[in-house]
Structure 1
Amino acid sequence: MQIVTRLSPFTYVMRPVHPLLPSTFALLVLFGFFLPIAFAYYASTDIHLPSPSVDHLEHKQLVSVVVAGATGDLAAKYLWVAMFRLAFEAAANSNQVYRFYAGATISLEEGREWQQTFFDDVFAQRVCGDSDGISLVQRRCRTFLEDQFKPSVRYIPLRSEVQYRDLGDILQQQLQSGSSEVGRIVYLAIPPQFFLQSCALVHRYLRPQSLKTAPNPFFRVVVEKPFGRDLESAHELATRLRQIYDDKELYVMDHYAGKPVVQALRRYFQLNAAALHPIWNTQHIQDVHIEMTETATLENRVNYFDSTGIIRDVMLNHLQFLLGVIASPSFDPEVYAESAQSSKVARVLHTAQLRFIKGLKWLQQQSSLFVAQYNEYAAHYQQETGRNHGTSDHFTATAAMVELTNSLEEWKNTSFHIAAAKATAKRLLEVTVTFRNNVFPFDKNQPCIFKVIIQQALNTDTRQSHRIKWSCDVRKVLPYLRLPENWEYLQFSDQRVITPKQPSPHSEDVNQWNLGDERSAYDVLMREVAAGATEHFADLDEVETAWALWTPIVLAAEVRLNLGGDANFHVAIKQPQVVQAYYPAGTSPWKQPYARLKDVGNFPGVKEEL
């Protein structure tokens, strides 16, 4: 006999019943013959469990969530699923209830129409699973969706100061019902150029007021990178935001922080901080290489990308963040002491990250920056903008690679290579740490490599696309490395590769139901925001310091140059430190440039095949 056991709001398993329980079931059958019949009838009908009205909040702790940009692509793809799961989890595990205010620039009538069409059966399947052969658990999910979540979402036009003020009045009026508002979250899913204006209006009109029922309501504003266009604009934005928000109120999000492998990697480093710290420095590490490539072109995204480029879009934000993560074992391992409070850990980590970022340098040596544009970009540019794209006066980097160093004593002789490209032959996001020879006593002629695969081609088995691995068996040197939760050795006899756990065919977890879409980074990070955890978010000092490093690189990449060459490939050196090229879509952008330049020695440390 098996019973349903709830592991989380989204995961249920069938578990065997204890051997002593059949007698209990016999009593139930004897004295309540119709109870299992009634239960079975409920599972096969549309009868809903009673659920509280969203207007009955006297005994609930209310959290108000404003999503600005609620009808955009980011919100449609990730945010509303994350918001549903946040509310569903709170309803199951706490006394909190969420109300959502969907803000956008469309009219009230258009917004209501969007609300009716967006939260449809497709959305229900995304959050509760397929409707075919629907289970009792899925019915409960759909009951929550229909009876609580949908009525809790209200569309509000948010385009002008008057409309922000009106929303503030609406938020205040809801408290007259006697509910206790414990806090507000504002997510700005809007273009970066509107951050400053929107943040000022949010501060002016949407701050919660202290009441007797909630004397210190929290206030959290989420903005997502990119943050500014250069050091000057980032400094202006950061200066203004410091004047209106404190550190506990502003969450600068990089969604890479919520990726499953990144979460596991940070936990792996935390669990093994004392063991890894002695070897995580320039005496032992020769090179750190971070690479992101995508197969998709920029067709239909040129209007955004043309003013941004690959360096601002990917390298400054996501790959810079990953570089900080991969450097973290060099930080004082005491920060991860189990007795340390999470708020203290976050503060110490931010201080260590800031110190590491300040130490990074672009030395502007010969050919230390490579930028390229895929050939078909010109056609995509003309199609989307209606303007001709001439190579003589227009160049937007769709691929780039830069070599950095670090002035800190513990990193002074280590090179750092950061590479990113669109329209390539493969989808990949990985980090490679190459140790010096003789660090591990295995093969003196072959350095040991620590590699983290964060993502690969879509629909790839997670055991291939999510990996943390050593190229050598480090057990003799590091015998007691601990694994992150829900990760395991690919082969226990060969402990070089760890991957996410897979349900065993003989495990009770094989019958688990995972409701709806796979968890996204936004599910993870929105839970962190709701909990007030800041460890996985950047602070303004880190953002400004990163821009101080990357602004000269961005400016060098954007200098225009008339290129020459054959029909498929062009390369030129416009400044001694910059190599500029074209590449056909679907190919490696740096294979041919390196082949042409390696004889001159202009590309230090770069592999022909990354």
Structure 2
Amino acid sequence: MVSRVIPVEPFDLVLFGATGDLAHRKILPGLFHRFVVGQMPDTARIIGSARSDMSVEEFRGTVRAAILEQAGDEVGPEEVLADFLSRIDYVRVNATGDEGWDELAGKLRADRVRAFYLSVAPSLFAEIAERLHAGGLATGDSRIVVEKPFGRDLQSAQELNAGLRACFDEHQIYRIDHYLGKETVQNLMALRFANSLFEPLWNSTHIDHVQITVAESLGIEGREAYYDKSGAMRDMVQNHLVQLLCLTAMEPPSKFTPNAVRDEKVKVIEALDPVPDEDIARGQYRAEKGGDGYLDHAGDPSSRTESFVAMKVRVANWRWSGTPFYLRTGKRLRARESEIAVVFRDPPHTIFPNVGHLRGNVLVIRLQPDEGITLRTTIKDPGPGGLRLKEVSLDMSFAEALGADSRPQDAYERLVMDVIRGDQTLFMRGDEVEAAWTWADPIIRAWDERTDQPTPYDTGSSGPEDALMLMHRDGRRWRQVGEG
């Protein structure tokens, strides 16, 4: 049985870049799923916009193909898909010229929420915002959605924010980070602030360290042009990993409102210490056993762009003094896995004879591929012959705990509906973006000023040896992919 959902207000959603990869892989299939469960009202409409010259029926055909490819067996009856497609419209618009804007304006209704989703290159954000504003398409209740990257350094982020704010108020701007839409990421806040068990222990007195890992098994194929100009630090650490760190380290907000939550996240970023070079490991995957390496795709045989970053980060505040956060992300690693591991301090003393050192509990919040929460505990090993201890995991997979019929929402489904509702809790605020760049810029600048190459590492490995040493010298170790 499908869980009950409350429909959102009637809306017109204009999707710029509607013929692009993201629109067809995530946004349009996500909207279809929200339609299937009844969250989209009957009068809702999705208007695709791009430079491609096609009819409405041709565009609907591409949307249909995208949904069939992404949704598979979950599409359901043909008449449901046909009903959804009947709400799809299309306008050819030149984002940098005058063509199509008047026609688009004529399709928008005055009594509806207007959301403009910019699934386009960041270089077009400010120009599209200006045309929406100047042409009267954007009302005081409109929303504008932009995808990362939000700049490539502090200056460009400030310029981007200024361009958006010249046409829209901050409460109308939705900077999407799909990691914040994941079910488990939101459960991290519920775990902390809705349970009296964890929050009293959520500090440096009880937590030894925190590991945040976003490992990818794929390389840069298909994204070479973008990735080689960005690297892992800009592509993943400055946004996704910093956001996960914020949600783990933040103080309890006074209430669960968008600005209260984001105020606490900004405080965490502003409390981050500068990261010295010895606390950072950079890597670049290399060819092995006839496979392709990073340089086979980068286009520049001397590229110094990193495909892996690991670092030890300190949050300089009362709660986290003495508890480091270890961040790690990379391409072509052993497996695709993302998790936050909260490692509690070891028991200070053991009362059990013939039992060696006892390890602290570990709380693991799994983000992908199997979302869930695991708590590593120590229990008696069953059976006669004396008291023996063993470590076991209390494991809650969301798919198992919530039932097979409770299909987890994709992050984009949740976030797009939050835009329509006007809920900015899971979106980044402008000062948050700029604070993250203020912290990241010196790290990137120091790399740019050096001439050394990132440390090579084998595809299918856990990354370069430098990353292992980053932990070993502190008497700690990285959790292995798939570890309970």
TM-score bracket for the superposition, by shorter chain length: 0.7 to 0.9
Whole-Å separation in 2 of the counterparts to 1:196 and 1:93? 31
Corresponding residue number in structure 2 for 1:70: 18
1:436–1:200 Cα change, 3 Å: same
One-letter amino acid matched to 1:498: M
Whole-Å separation in 2 of the counterparts to 1:502 and 1:238? 42
1:441–1:164 Cα change, 3 Å: farther
1:101–1:277 Cα change, 3 Å: same
Write the mapping of 1:16-415 to structure 2, written as runs, cut at 5 A: 62-89=10-37, 92=38, 97-106=43-52, 108-109=53-54, 115-120=59-64, 123-124=67-68, 126=70, 129=73, 138-139=76-77, 142-147=78-83, 149-163=85-99, 165-171=101-107, 175=109, 181-205=111-135, 207-209=137-139, 218-272=141-195, 274-328=196-250, 330-331=251-252, 334-335=254-255, 345-364=257-276, 367-376=278-287, 387-390=299-302, 394-415=303-324
Whole-Å separation in 2 of the counterparts to 1:425 and 1:371? 17
1:309–1:606 Cα change, 3 Å: farther
Q: Tell me how far 1:190 sits from its aligned partner.
A: 1.2
SS at match of 1:268: helix
How big is each residue's C-alpha offset from its partner over 1:294-346, in whole Å with a ceiling of 9 and x where there is no partner?
A: 11111232111100101111111111111111124x425x535xxxxxxxx22
One-letter amino acid matched to 1:455: Q
SS at match of 1:418: strand
Whole-Å separation in 2 of the counterparts to 1:279 and 1:551? 33
Return the TM-score normalized by structure 2: 0.84
How big is each residue's C-alpha offset from its partner over 1:100-128, in whole Å with a ceiling of 9 and x where there is no partner?
A: 2211122x23x657515413466357558
1:95–1:253 Cα change, 3 Å: closer
SS at match of 1:281: coil
Corresponding residue number in structure 2 for 1:134: none
Q: Is the 1:473–1:496 contact (alpha carbons within 8 Å) kept by the matching residues of 2? A: no
Q: Structure 1 residue 589 and structure 2 residue 479: aligned?
A: no
Q: Tell me how far 1:498 sits from its aligned partner.
A: 2.5
Q: Tell me how far 1:203 sits from its aligned partner.
A: 2.6
One-letter amino acid matched to 1:123: I
1:166–1:586 Cα change, 3 Å: same
1:128–1:153 Cα change, 3 Å: farther
Q: Tell me how far 1:257 sits from its aligned partner.
A: 1.3
One-letter amino acid matched to 2:18: A
1:223–1:603 Cα change, 3 Å: farther
Whole-Å separation in 1 of the counterparts to 2:351 and 2:158? 49
How big is each residue's C-alpha offset from its partner over 1:334-380, in whole Å with a ceiling of 9 and x where there is no partner?
A: 535xxxxxxxx22211111111111011241x511111111239966
Corresponding residue number in structure 2 for 1:537: 427
Corresponding residue number in structure 1 for 2:372: 467
Instruction: Show structure 1 runs of 5+ residues with no match.
Output: 11-59, 132-137, 210-216, 337-344, 457-464, 475-493, 564-579
1:447–1:124 Cα change, 3 Å: closer
SS at match of 2:255: helix
1:528–1:292 Cα change, 3 Å: same
How big is each residue's C-alpha offset from its partner over 1:427-480, in whole Å with a ceiling of 9 and x where there is no partner?
A: 111111122234899997422222112114xxxxxxxx2231222379xxxxxx
One-letter amino acid matched to 1:244: C
Which segment is superposed worse, 112-121 or 277-286?
Answer: 112-121
Corresponding residue number in structure 2 for 1:487: none
Whole-Å separation in 2 of the counterparts to 1:540 and 1:423? 32
Whole-Å separation in 1 of the counterparts to 2:187 and 2:373? 9
Q: Is the 1:396–1:558 contact (alpha carbons within 8 Å) kept by the matching residues of 2? A: no
One-letter amino acid matched to 2:284: Q
Corresponding residue number in structure 1 for 2:385: none
SS at match of 1:153: strand
Whole-Å separation in 2 of the counterparts to 1:250 and 1:206? 17
Return the TM-score normalized by structure 1: 0.68
Q: Tell me how far 1:389 sits from its aligned partner.
A: 0.6
Q: Structure 1 residue 431 and structure 2 residue 367: aligned?
A: no
1:252–1:116 Cα change, 3 Å: closer
Q: Tell me how far 1:164 sits from its aligned partner.
A: 5.9
Q: Is the 1:291–1:420 contact (alpha carbons within 8 Å) kept by the matching residues of 2? A: yes
One-letter amino acid matched to 2:362: I
How big is each residue's C-alpha offset from its partner over 1:381-433, in whole Å with a ceiling of 9 and x where there is no partner?
A: 77657x5513xxx3110001111112212222221111101011221111111
Q: Is the 2:220–2:227 contact (alpha carbons within 8 Å) kept by the matching residues of 1? A: yes
Give the structure with higher Rg (CA). 1
Corresponding residue number in structure 2 for 1:421: 330
1:300–1:603 Cα change, 3 Å: farther
How big is each residue's C-alpha offset from its partner over 1:237-295, in whole Å with a ceiling of 9 and x where there is no partner?
A: 123323322232111111011222223323222312x4433221222222111011111
How big is each residue's C-alpha offset from its partner over 1:527-575, in whole Å with a ceiling of 9 and x where there is no partner?
A: 2112111111111111110111111122233445255xxxxxxxxxxxx
Corresponding residue number in structure 2 for 1:528: 418
Q: Is the 1:68–1:158 contact (alpha carbons within 8 Å) kept by the matching residues of 2? A: no
Whole-Å separation in 2 of the counterparts to 1:588 and 1:498? 26
Whole-Å separation in 1 of the counterparts to 2:292 and 2:397? 41
Q: Tell me how far 1:502 sits from its aligned partner.
A: 2.8
1:472–1:451 Cα change, 3 Å: same
Q: Is the 1:67–1:187 contact (alpha carbons within 8 Å) kept by the matching residues of 2? A: yes
Q: Tell me how far 1:181 sits from its aligned partner.
A: 2.2
SS at match of 1:196: helix
1:124–1:435 Cα change, 3 Å: closer
Which segment is superposed worse, 183-192 or 445-454?
Answer: 445-454
Whole-Å separation in 1 of the counterparts to 2:366 and 2:4? 28
1:151–1:433 Cα change, 3 Å: closer
Instruction: Show structure 2 runs of 5+ residues with no match.
Output: 380-391
Count of residues in correspondence between the two structures:
461
1:95–1:445 Cα change, 3 Å: closer
Corresponding residue number in structure 2 for 1:553: 443
